[in-house]
Amino acid sequence: MFITSVRVFTALVLLTIFGLFIGVAKAEAPIGELREPPTLEQKFAMVFGDKHKTMLDIANKESSLNPKAVGYNCHYYREDGKRYSTHCKKEDRDKAWSWDCGVLQNNTSSKEECEKLKDVDYNLQVAKGKLDTQGLCAWVVVGC
- The string of DSSP codes covering 39-71 is PHHHHHHHHHGGGHHHHHHHHHHHHTT-TT-EE
Going from the C-alpha of 30 to that of each of 21, 26, 27, 128, the distances in angstroms are 15, 6, 6, 32
Same domain, 28 and 45: no
Domain range for 19: 2-34
Domains: count for the chain: 2
| pLDDT, position 30 | 59
- pTM value? 0.72
pLDDT band at 140 (very low <50, low <70, confident <90, very high): confident
Same domain, 28 and 54: no
How far is the C-alpha of 104 from the C-alpha of 62, rounded, in Å? Answer: 6
Going from the C-alpha of 139 to that of each of 31, 33, 94, 112, the distances in angstroms are 39, 37, 24, 22
Percentage of the chain modeled with pLDDT above 90: 72
pLDDT digits (tens, 9 = 90+) for 64-113: 999 999 999 999 999 999 999 999 999 999 999 999 999 999 999 999 99
Contact present, 56 and 47 (Cβ < 8 Å): no
User: Is residue 82 assigned to a domain?
Assistant: no
Report the side by side order of strands in the sheet with 70-77. 83-87, 70-77, 98-101, 106-108
Same domain, 16 and 59: no
How far is the C-alpha of 43 from the C-alpha of 91, rounded, in Å? Answer: 36
Same domain, 20 and 47: no
User: Is residue 55 assigned to a domain?
Assistant: yes
User: Is residue 95 assigned to a domain?
Assistant: no
